[in-house]
Structure 1
């Protein structure tokens, strides 16, 4: 059984059932349709019914732990062939006689186990069904899609940013915005914060960047270093709050990241973004709604962000953006930066920071190798994603985040109404997200 096709079939059937508007929701009929579509053998269909039922329940209720393990689906892979264990960078996956367990003290919510499990037994909490429901009523309350910088080329070589924007509008979203615009805003804030810190005698700063898995790594494994982290929220949270300051609306983040699902639920941040979809989930939503993205016209341009905001999509992009902004604000500061490319590298660098042995004054951390373009919710290879992100960045009319006039206008109009800081205080333990 192909895990991807099986998962996609469940999502499509659930979305189509929601879009039909029929009530009450006939779960048994849905289970019959999915098992019939996926399995030719009657005995196999019966054995998979409880698995399909649990997957549907997880989609519809969107409750429980951030990561769930469906015991009926687990193949109990042999030692040395357990991909979920192999891909987990913090050794949070534990195998017991009763199956898989997750050590939440070690889990950084990166989602690698979800992507790695060959049988689909490990699943992340999904907003897929909720988004499908929101879009049905988007004429009553606006629903906005905000796209992570890594979106370029994810839906096909011929799918331009303009086509994708048009397709999302056709799907039912009332507007589509680049999160890269908020990356420009956060770049400016972090550059100013870094200059201020250095002037008061601080010698090191860690960017909050856009990676919640990296932030969880710092919080859980090196809590003493939290005070070195910028107090800015992520670009996703920033844009969500700005949109909600503008009007009453719902905000859906679309990106490559499973960890963003957990970030959006953190108590101190949950006011910003209502739902999170991966690129894979979004592609399935297009299919469920029978939206042919390739046939969409090119008449709705995507022109929200600078070059530097758009390169947040890949490793070193945040460093480049902040370095350029710092140099503009205070040319006397010499930024000597390092970047962690993937959790393993980040762990090594954080250990050196803790020991005072890192010959640098600024650190960027990316939980996925290659940066966001290497996330578990992506559709295309990370090298291709990096190339696409760089190419799209070159089309921007502004290079530096400080030259993005649209971001500047949004901050002038809505900036005073929103909190773009995390509320983190040095030495305090962060509030845990609801699992």
Structure 2
């Protein structure tokens, strides 16, 4: 189950989360930051830093409400850092009363678990026999070691955290079947709770933010609840656990600089550096007490935002002093003797998610694109979220970052893009002007073509022979006046409505034999020449020829009763057309959908026909 995830609609790509993530567990993809669960250590640094509330963690309120509504007994275990978080509540007993008002049967403080674990660490450090340990009280540190320093697993102290230790004690005292909800400042505790079963099982983890929300939703405040004390066993100085070195002071572990062997530090950068040096230098010879959050648990990501670190530290110390005034040491020792026999050991898992270093030539290639000239190991501006340009280049090679996350690179690319855009705009402007010129030229050509079309139509209509163009549907595409005159008055009336008989069906105008001629020509792409037909009181000679294969055919109709002189005149005119107006005929052919060669053949056919008649 993913503990931390982003709300992509809220992400503004400010890269603040990348800057604070110690695990490189954030990838920029699809326009937003994405948490990589396999690499995430659930430290919550990104949750705290995001200025847009675009990162959220697993909400346990619904689960807890379900537990509280059940018939089972539900006990709350509360981290001792409550005194630093709830400074608005005047008395800790009011706080305990508010928790019980939600429906919890008991409230136990984790300080007793801190006492028990602190005593175990003291035993281990006093008898370490040359092997140095890393404390396991911070679940974010445990996750970081298992995923990014798995070779140090054997140096991790084999002890559970105070949260888990308290859970074991509560189940030992109040029953194995009780349900336990931990309330604390840590998001990583939600992840830690999922790793334990049996008497170590924690049924839910609420952060301080979540418990505040539950108080508000239930209308609970310290003025409408009764005082209540923590349920036993009561802890001692373990209440100091949430501040740095607090647990070790509680059990008097030696921290003397000369005689002690313990380094205690907190904060993500310090933790990473301490682990790197612990693994690298055998001469370090110190135990490490590490807390991921700066200020230890009092500044956990599950606490209220805007808290003051040193004020919270002071409040924890004051709270512990106040508790110790009425502390029953004998009762405490009795409880310690009773519960220290429980098994507080644990094991660690190798969850190595380290990435192999990318090839150096790939890194250098990215650095070159970034405009680096040998200074890439310097700190860099940090705007991308990475501490150096080289670290950023490695992230790019590993697929965790994009080139445009570098502001310098993005600005340079933007400038290049602007230059290209300007150049493109200039080309578009030139193209636009060229288009205007082309449109003007085309318009002139269109006007010339219209003029030519008018001229050719006039000449077409002056031909003495009837000419017709027909498509493959036997519909007239074009006809001249001579053809209409040959057909008679009915055709003339139709032509008055439909000029040139365009679109008229051929079968309604000519004998069936002519229609059959056209069928033959269109199907076989062969001409039918010099066929005599009777139409009304006329004897016509018909020649049908293909113009466009299977699609367009033309025909010439000659009135056989026209005097021979007229035939000679037709022959003369057609010859003149062939000799002087071939170009014009080609234009006619273009307009009629036929080639110039077909037109020439048609006209030659007319000449040959008349010449044959003349010879006869």
Q: What range describes the TM-score normalised by the shorter chain of this pair? A: 0.7 to 0.9
Alignment-derived partner of residue 11 in structure 2: 75
Aligned equivalents of 1:398 and 1:189: distance in 2? 25
Alignment-derived partner of residue 234 in structure 1: 161
Native 8 Å contact 2:96 2:228 kept in 1: no
Alignment-derived partner of residue 50 in structure 2: 117
Alignment-derived partner of residue 3 in structure 2: 66
Unaligned runs of 5+ in 2: 354-616
Aligned-pair CA distance for 1:165: 0.7
Aligned-pair CA distance for 1:258: 0.5
- SS of the equivalent of 1:340 reads strand
Change (3 A) 1:301 1:219: closer
Aligned equivalents of 2:11 and 2:324: distance in 1? 52
Alignment-derived partner of residue 347 in structure 2: 423
Native 8 Å contact 2:115 2:236 kept in 1: yes
- RMSD, aligned CA: 2.9
Write out per-residue CA displacement over residues 95-153 of structure 1, whole angstroms, 9 at most, x where no aligned residue.
1235322234532111122233333332211211011122223xx32111111121114
- SS of the equivalent of 2:85 reads coil
Alignment-derived partner of residue 404 in structure 2: none
Aligned equivalents of 2:156 and 2:59: distance in 1? 29
Aligned-pair CA distance for 1:347: 1.0
Aligned-pair CA distance for 1:415: 5.2
Alignment-derived partner of residue 210 in structure 2: 281
Matched, 1:100 2:33: yes
Native 8 Å contact 1:266 1:431 kept in 2: no
Matched, 1:368 2:293: yes
Aligned equivalents of 1:377 and 1:279: distance in 2? 6
Change (3 A) 1:268 1:251: closer
- SS of the equivalent of 1:107 reads coil
Change (3 A) 1:338 1:326: closer
Alignment-derived partner of residue 73 in structure 2: 142
Aligned equivalents of 1:365 and 1:207: distance in 2? 7
Unaligned runs of 5+ in 1: 1-63
Match of 1:346 among 264, 267, 271: 271
Matched, 1:184 2:115: yes
Alignment-derived partner of residue 389 in structure 1: 316
Write out per-residue CA displacement over residues 345-394 of structure 1, whole angstroms, 9 at most, x where no aligned residue.
01111111112266452211010000001111112322221111111111
Alignment-derived partner of residue 424 in structure 2: none
Matched, 1:313 2:242: yes
Alignment-derived partner of residue 208 in structure 1: 136
Aligned equivalents of 1:175 and 1:280: distance in 2? 20
Aligned equivalents of 1:360 and 1:294: distance in 2? 53
Alignment-derived partner of residue 258 in structure 1: 187
- SS of the equivalent of 2:108 reads strand
Native 8 Å contact 1:319 1:364 kept in 2: no
Aligned-pair CA distance for 1:325: 4.3
> What is the TM-score with the length of structure 2 in the denominator?
0.52
Native 8 Å contact 1:149 1:179 kept in 2: yes
Aligned-pair CA distance for 1:92: 1.5
- SS of the equivalent of 1:387 reads helix
Alignment-derived partner of residue 337 in structure 1: 262
Aligned equivalents of 2:351 and 2:336: distance in 1? 27
**Moved runs in structure 1, 4+ residues, more than 6 A?**
none
The structure showing larger relative contact order (alpha-carbon pairs under 8 Å, at least 6 residues apart) is 1
Change (3 A) 1:421 1:114: same
Matched, 1:133 2:61: no
Native 8 Å contact 2:81 2:242 kept in 1: yes
Native 8 Å contact 2:60 2:204 kept in 1: yes
Aligned-pair CA distance for 1:284: 0.7
Aligned-pair CA distance for 1:397: 3.1
Aligned length: 347
Native 8 Å contact 1:131 1:275 kept in 2: yes
Aligned-pair CA distance for 1:320: 2.6
Change (3 A) 1:422 1:269: farther
User: Bigger radius of gyration, 1 or 2?
Assistant: 2
Change (3 A) 1:357 1:398: farther
- SS of the equivalent of 1:384 reads helix
Aligned-pair CA distance for 1:398: 8.2
Mean Cα deviation higher: 347-356 or 288-297: 288-297
Aligned equivalents of 1:118 and 1:394: distance in 2? 37
Aligned equivalents of 1:269 and 1:68: distance in 2? 29
Native 8 Å contact 1:319 1:337 kept in 2: no
- SS of the equivalent of 2:95 reads helix
